[in-house]
Chains A and B, each alone.
Chain A
Amino acid sequence: MATAFERIASHTVSSGGSSLVTFSSIPSTYTDLMLKISTKTSFDWLLLEFNDSAGTNYKQQNFRGDGTSVSAQNQINQSAAYATITGQNVTTSVFGNAEIYIYQYKQTSFKKLVGAEGISEANQTAAYQYLTSTEWQVTNEAINKIDISKSNAGNFDEYSTFYLYGISNA
């Protein structure tokens, strides 16, 4: 039986770092997409932008814990999906991790939903866990390109990794 879970593409950041990782020409042969990301950088939001859609087309709910308290936030009219958080470059060898699930990415009749979980661990008092849901409020485009960046200036550090998987219910 064919596997329902396949790697589409991957990227490892090389020496000098990178501020942007792009997966383009994503095939429409799957049902859902999954990103598995390991990053080290200054602590930040990890942003997703679909199909170069930088208008205020993203709406989000997030829920977070920082080791002491929990909070939640509703954000509308965002110019990118504030999908989850990055790692922190405060401790040697410690990277943050995130899993991002993109439902029904090739549909052209309804908005696309994204669920994500991310952690930013470090050997210090505050470390963070974020659960988020985001909607790309464009109905008539299949997602065929994903730009991954961070909300403030700076690079993803060397050895940060980005994996894109396709999940098929065919």
Chain B
Amino acid sequence: MPTTYEKIASYTASSTQTEITFSSISGAYTDIVLVFEGITSSSGDLDIALRFNSDSGNNYSSTFIRGVGGTANSGRYTTQDLLRLGVITQERTGLRAHIQNYSNTTTYKPVLAKEDSIDSDYGNWLNIGMWQNTSAITSITTRNQPGYGSLLAGSSVTIYGILKA
């Protein structure tokens, strides 16, 4: 039986850092699932964000709903230079992002993501985002908002490919 869910690449930080990039991503899959698990330095919480194909233009937008402590709310980011998907804190934080139809060259690329956190200031985030570009995604950078903390050693990112037939 052909496999339908394969690891493409994985990286575990051996030291403090702010950015992890997977490049030369094959177009052989239909969708990509990105899984992050990690924690920040004591210097502060940081936005966790994705950047595709090193595009630093203001081509990203996202909408979130979230539960924070005892409050539920929603917000939206537009004309961003990163796809902002939540906040990594000094509590361990997880992110599962589904990047659908990532290799097509006719549509903008949607991302559906859930951030898992028990931090009382941030909590659960459910995000829908968009990279406003029709290019196939060939590289994915997981990074924080510049100037806000770092990922500690042991933080990890893995991308999986989901195969078509």
Contact = CB atoms under 8 A, between A and B. Distances in A.
Interface of A: 1-5, 31-32, 59-64, 70-74, 101, 103-104, 109-111, 113-115, 117, 131-135, 167-170
Contacts of B4: 3, 5
Contact of A4 (B6, B69, B72): B6
A103 B37 contact: yes
B94 A31 contact: no
Q: Chain B's interface: helix, strand, loop or mixed, by majority? A: strand
29 contacts: A1-B3, A1-B6, A3-B3, A4-B6, A4-B160, A5-B4, A5-B160, A31-B10, A31-B158, A32-B35, A61-B68, A61-B117, A61-B118, A61-B119, A64-B67, A72-B67, A72-B72, A72-B123, A103-B35, A103-B37, A103-B92, A104-B156, A115-B94, A115-B96, A115-B116, A131-B124, A134-B118, A167-B160, A169-B156
Interface centre among B93, B94, B154 (most CB of A within 10 A): B94
Given A3-B3, A133-B117, A103 B67 contact: no
Nearest to A112: B92
Given A3-B4, A5-B160, A134-B118, 16 more contacts: A2-B3, A4-B7, A31-B10, A62-B67, A63-B124, A71-B70, A71-B72, A74-B120, A101-B116, A103-B35, A110-B39, A113-B94, A115-B116, A133-B123, A133-B124, A169-B35
B66 A113 contact: no
Contact of A62 (B37, B120, B124, B158): B124
A132 B93 CA distance: 12
Give the bracket for the number of chain B residues in contact with chain A.
35 or more
Contact of A113 (B6, B92, B114): B92
Given A4-B7, A135-B91, A61 B158 contact: no
Contacts of A70: 65, 67, 72
B158 A169 contact: yes
Nearest to A131: B124
A60 B118 contact: yes
A74 B91 CA distance: 14
B83 to A, nearest CB: 19
Contacts of A104: 37, 156
Contact of A109 (B3, B71, B154): B154
Given A111-B92, A131-B114, A72 B120 contact: no
B126 interface: yes
A3 B94 contact: no
A112 to B, nearest CB: 8
A30 B115 CA distance: 21
